[in-house]
Amino acid sequence: MKIVFVSNFLNHHQLPLCNEFFNMKNIDFKFIATEQVPEDRLKLGYKKDFNVPYLLELKNKKDVDYAKKLIINCDIAIIGSCPYELEKIRIETKKIYFKYSERFLRGPAWRKYSPIAQYNIRTRYTNKMHENMFLLCASVYAAWDYNFFGAFKNKSLKWGYFTSLSKLKFTEIKKNKTKKLSLLWVGRMLELKHPEHAVEVAKHLKDNNIDYNLVFIGDGDIKNKIINLVDNYKLRDNITFLPNMSFEKVRLYMEKSNIFLFTSDFKEGWGAVLNEAMASGCAVVSSYQAGSTLFLIDKNETNGQIYDGTVNDLIIKVMNYINDKSYMDLVSKNAYETISNLWSPEIAAKRLVDFSSNLLEKKPISYYEFGPLSISKAISNKDAKQLLK
């Protein structure tokens, strides 16, 4: 089976899945990178070069022509962010095509009524739908965004990013956790990621005489604003700010931390830090608005807690852990197992290959009950909040 994965560039979030495809028996795998890694991503710790034999970078016309042949002739095409002409030539073959996408309606609500948005989605996908087209949703909200325009109805599948697993067993991770209550926030310091929510949690802990450490890792436009807020609340004795660092170093902090706070809003496409924190045995509190939350965290909250986007609810969920250490320990273990045993690169790769084999053999389509390649229902922003009740 020949599998081609096309995206803008290869990054550390996609690498584990690509390695799984490449190492599978009877699979001929290629990753086509259509552009260079942007400078802002390099500053975040992204790597510029990957020494992997399956990578094809498009640097000239010869590379592009070769890529087009691969895309047309392969058995399975997974196509993410790239020039539409590369998608179009695959769609027109009517062969198996997985569109890999986060949500695209992240802005104001009126955008879904934009004539340009409607024209683009309907002409590119809705009007060209065929039996071998599927949407790999890298956000719980992606299905709704596409389905609103009539695209990928009943063809939207749960997917996402599949980060590397911890090299440690859970028993080893548990020993690494700090005795003193430790909280961690990781990401770019941007408005959409709401690091101020974590500061408000810290203020609540101080006001209630609860000893803790909170670490922020990341830089960004509002970092000085957050530092000023911390100073105004007189919290510097318990809060540490660290700059961008390699993802390997971030994982070391995750493996030591008790609680991970994921505070992004609807503008967050996926949020791979949630995968990484859960794989590191953190008890997470995650905003329902981020694309990964409702895929990775169970509604019964045995592998993490989901908060409604308000500071008050975030504080309540954090206190649930603090007031019940056995619950925090249970969530930590279940989070680790969720990523290791279900949302792992190995499981995702195997499921996609098995699913594709059935399609190639014209067998009846059978979707998985949960996890990767299970059905992703069309959930709007409003619908999602109702699911929390």
Assess contact for 283 and 328: CB atoms under 8 A.
yes
Query: What confidence category does residue 110 fall into, taking pLDDT thresholds of 50, 70 and 90?
Result: low
pLDDT over 90 for what percent of the chain?
89
- Cα–Cα distance measured from residue 70 to residue 74, given in angstroms and rounded to the nearest whole number: 6
Q: Which two tokens stand for residue 291?
A: 């694309």
Q: Which residues pair with 28 in a beta bridge?
A: 2
The tens digit of pLDDT for each residue in 293-324 reads 999 999 999 999 999 999 999 999 999 999 99
Query: What confidence category does residue 51 fall into, taking pLDDT thresholds of 50, 70 and 90?
Result: confident
Task: Give yes or no for residue 258 having a pLDDT over 70.
Answer: yes
More confident site: 90 or 382: 90
Q: What is the pLDDT of residue 36?
A: 83
Task: Give yes or no for residue 46 having a pLDDT over 80.
Answer: no
Assign a CATH topology to domain 2-162+344-379: Rossmann fold (3.40.50)
- Cα–Cα distance measured from residue 18 to residue 159, given in angstroms and rounded to the nearest whole number: 14
Mean pLDDT of 46-68: 91
Mean pLDDT of 351-375: 97
- Cα–Cα distance measured from residue 359 to residue 6, given in angstroms and rounded to the nearest whole number: 20
Mean pLDDT of 182-199: 98
The tens digit of pLDDT for each residue in 340-354 reads 999 999 999 999 999
> Do the domains 170-341 and 2-162+344-379 match in fold?
yes
Task: Give yes or no for residue 167 having a pLDDT over 80.
Answer: yes
- Burial of 291-303, coded b for 16+ CB within 10 Å and e otherwise, reads bbbbbbbeeeeeb
Q: How many CB atoms lie within 10 A of CB 178?
A: 10
Domains in the chain: boundaries: 2-162+344-379, 170-341
Of 1-5, 104-108, 271-275, 378-382, give the lowest mean pLDDT range. Answer: 104-108
What class is the 170-341 domain? alpha beta
Q: Which residues pair with 332 in a beta bridge?
A: none
Query: What confidence category does residue 106 fall into, taking pLDDT thresholds of 50, 70 and 90?
Result: confident
Hey, what long-range contacts does 252-255 have (CB within 8 A, 24 or more apart)?
253/184, 253/186, 253/215, 253/217, 254/184, 254/186, 254/280, 254/282, 255/166, 255/168, 255/173, 255/176, 255/177, 255/280, 255/281
User: What pTM did the predictor assign?
Assistant: 0.95
Q: What is the pLDDT of residue 108?
A: 67
Q: What is the pLDDT of residue 49?
A: 74
Task: Give yes or no for residue 109 having a pLDDT over 70.
Answer: no
- Cα–Cα distance measured from residue 304 to residue 321, given in angstroms and rounded to the nearest whole number: 10
- Binning the chain into helix, strand and coil, the percentages to the nearest 5 are 45, 15, 40
Mean pLDDT for all residues in the chain: 95
CA distances (Å), 162 to each of 21, 240, 313, in order?
Answer: 12, 29, 28
Q: What is the pLDDT of residue 107?
A: 72
Q: What is the pLDDT of residue 368?
A: 97
